[in-house]
């Protein structure tokens, strides 16, 4: 009998601890960030320290027993009134965040950016396609633009759940203007704003090291001035994506694709950006280094070998591409790290 009473008392204590409202912070509202990758126990400890829940142990047991298999969503949560631990956990499991955070890194194209936001339920694919296709947001600075590719500024963005793609795109373009519009008057190449963004998008997808961005920009500017093909692999990749034919590798047939974005077949800049560059690449395209270089080839450590003539370039290709791949030790090292495409012709 005593054991039964003890069990009932324990159950009552557990239930009361789980369902009693609690507010342990003095201000009217408290925002709490739940970081991605943290264990449930660490999240509950953080919530206790923030005064959101009274105790971390009862909610942890509840999660392990009653909500097994469910997970807490990362994000920023708002608490303003006394809430029970059960209600708090329900909010965290649903993911009722105040703001959803999405990081857009430099060099992503609009296809990849849309996937990031759609995965967070911030707009649908159809909304993103329509929003990116509307170039009116940059008509005053880039009248030739046919989409917003190139103007979706890379950054970490925070939006309320349910924010649509048009509002997000508007914020990204505004961020572009904030960071780069004031520097447009200092473009030194003779290119207009849209051409500069196009060049910057190619530089962003080619240069891995910050110090090489002005050098890579100089190569393409020199080739433009000599009416040479740019021969940039990333532009071919973009052409294949537009055609729905990109499979993750560039094939010989891909280099022949009939697209104005194929800079192996068509001279000059492609008609639009192929990615969304960061400020460093935009600056490099606006004011490239002054060099005689016309070629570069990847060296597999993130850097490139630059050259002024085709003979030296072919020699560099032999050293850093053909012989490198033939070396078994180099091949083994390559398998242990992400591949660098042999870009730059």
Instruction: Encode pLDDT of 208-254 as tens digits.
Output: 899 999 999 999 999 999 999 999 999 999 999 998 888 888 888 87
The pLDDT score that the predictor gives to residue 324 is: 64
The pLDDT score that the predictor gives to residue 142 is: 95
Asked if 254 and 240 count as a contact pair (C-beta separation under 8 A), the reply is yes
256 and 295 within one domain:
yes
Lowest mean pLDDT among 108-117, 147-156, 215-224, 324-333: 324-333
344: in domain: no
314 and 200 within one domain:
yes
154 and 200 within one domain:
no
295 and 204 within one domain:
yes
123 and 155 within one domain:
yes
The pLDDT score that the predictor gives to residue 251 is: 81
Q: Report how far apart, in Å, the C-alpha atoms of 156 and of each of 194, 282, 306, 320, 321 are.
A: 24, 18, 33, 36, 36
Asked if 149 and 110 count as a contact pair (C-beta separation under 8 A), the reply is yes
The pLDDT score that the predictor gives to residue 160 is: 83
Q: How far apart are CA 221 and CA 200, in angstroms?
A: 11
Q: What is the mean pLDDT of residues 82-91?
A: 94
327 and 195 within one domain:
yes
The yes-or-no verdict on residue 46 having pLDDT over 90 is yes
340: in domain: no
The yes-or-no verdict on residue 68 having pLDDT over 90 is no
pLDDT-based confidence at 150, cuts 50/70/90? very high
193 and 168 within one domain:
no
pLDDT-based confidence at 167, cuts 50/70/90? very high
Which of 64, 94, 124 lies at the terminal end of a domain, its last residue?
94
Q: Give the model confidence (pLDDT) of 261-290 as tens digits.
A: 999 999 999 999 999 999 999 999 999 999
User: b vs e for 205-229, b when ≥16 Cβ sit within 10 Å of the residue's Cβ?
Assistant: bbbeeeebbbbbbbbbbbbbeeebe
Q: Give the model confidence (pLDDT) of 47-67 as tens digits.
A: 999 999 999 989 899 889 888
Q: How many CA atoms lie within 13 A of 334 on its CB side?
A: 17
291 and 257 within one domain:
yes
Domain count, the chain: 3
309 and 205 within one domain:
yes
231 and 148 within one domain:
no
158: in domain: yes
First and final C-alpha spacing in the chain: 86
Helix (H) or strand (E) holding 17: helix 2-19
* pTM of the shown model: 0.74
Asked if 275 and 201 count as a contact pair (C-beta separation under 8 A), the reply is yes
The yes-or-no verdict on residue 339 having pLDDT over 50 is no
236 and 125 within one domain:
no
297 and 173 within one domain:
no
**Percentage of the chain with pLDDT > 70?**
90
Q: How far apart are CA 247 and CA 233, in angstroms?
A: 14
Which of 94, 125, 145 lies at the terminal end of a domain, its last residue?
94
83: in domain: yes
Which of 122, 146, 179 lies at the terminal end of a domain, its last residue?
179
Q: Give the model confidence (pLDDT) of 311-322 as tens digits.
A: 999 999 898 877
Enclosing domain of residue 285: 189-335
184: in domain: no
342: in domain: no
Pairing of strands 30-34, 304-307: unpaired
| CATH code of the domain containing 77 | 3.30.1490.480
Q: Is 302 left (phi over 0), alpha (psi -120 to 50) or beta?
A: left
Q: How far apart are CA 343 and CA 339, in angstroms?
A: 12
345: in domain: no
The pLDDT score that the predictor gives to residue 22 is: 92
Pairing of strands 156-159, 304-307: unpaired
């Amino acid at each position: 009998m005593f054991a039964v009473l003890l069990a009932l008392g324990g159950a009552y204590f557990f239930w009361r601890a789980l369902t009693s409202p609690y507010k342990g912070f003095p201000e009217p509202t408290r925002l709490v960030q739940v970081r991605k990758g943290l264990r449930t126990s660490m999240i509950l400890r953080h919530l206790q320290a923030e005064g959101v829940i009274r105790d971390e142990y009862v909610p942890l047991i509840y999660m392990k027993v009653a909500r097994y298999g469910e997970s807490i969503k990362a994000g920023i949560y708002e608490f303003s009134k006394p809430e029970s631990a059960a209600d708090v956990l329900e909010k965290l499991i649903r993911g009722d965040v105040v703001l959803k955070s999405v990081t857009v890194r430099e060099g992503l194209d609009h296809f990849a950016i849309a996937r990031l936001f759609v995965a967070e339920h911030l707009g649908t694919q159809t909304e993103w396609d329509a929003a990116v296709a509307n170039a009116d947001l940059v008509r005053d600075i880039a009248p030739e633009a046919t989409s917003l590719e190139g103007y979706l500024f890379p950054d970490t963005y925070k939006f309320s759940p349910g924010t649509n793609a048009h509002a997000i795109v508007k914020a990204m373009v505004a961020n572009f203007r904030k960071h780069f519009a004031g520097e447009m008057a200092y473009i030194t190449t003779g290119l207009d704003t849209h051409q500069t963004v196009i060049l910057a998008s190619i530089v962003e997808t080619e240069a891995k090291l910050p110090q090489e961005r002005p050098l890579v920009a100089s190569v393409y500017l020199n080739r433009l001035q000599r009416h040479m093909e740019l021969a940039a692999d990333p532009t071919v990749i973009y052409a294949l994506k537009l055609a729905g034919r990109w499979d993750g590798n560039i094939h010989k047939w891909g280099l022949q694709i009939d697209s104005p974005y194929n800079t192996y077949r068509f001279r000059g800049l492609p008609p639009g950006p192929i990615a969304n560059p960061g400020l460093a690449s935009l600056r490099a395209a606006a004011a490239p280094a002054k060099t005689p270089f016309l070629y570069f080839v990847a060296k597999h450590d993130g850097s490139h070998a630059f050259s002024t003539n085709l003979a030296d370039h072919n020699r560099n290709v032999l050293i850093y591409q053909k012989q490198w791949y033939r070396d078994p030790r180099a091949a083994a090292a390559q398998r242990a790290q992400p591949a660098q495409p042999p870009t730059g012709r």
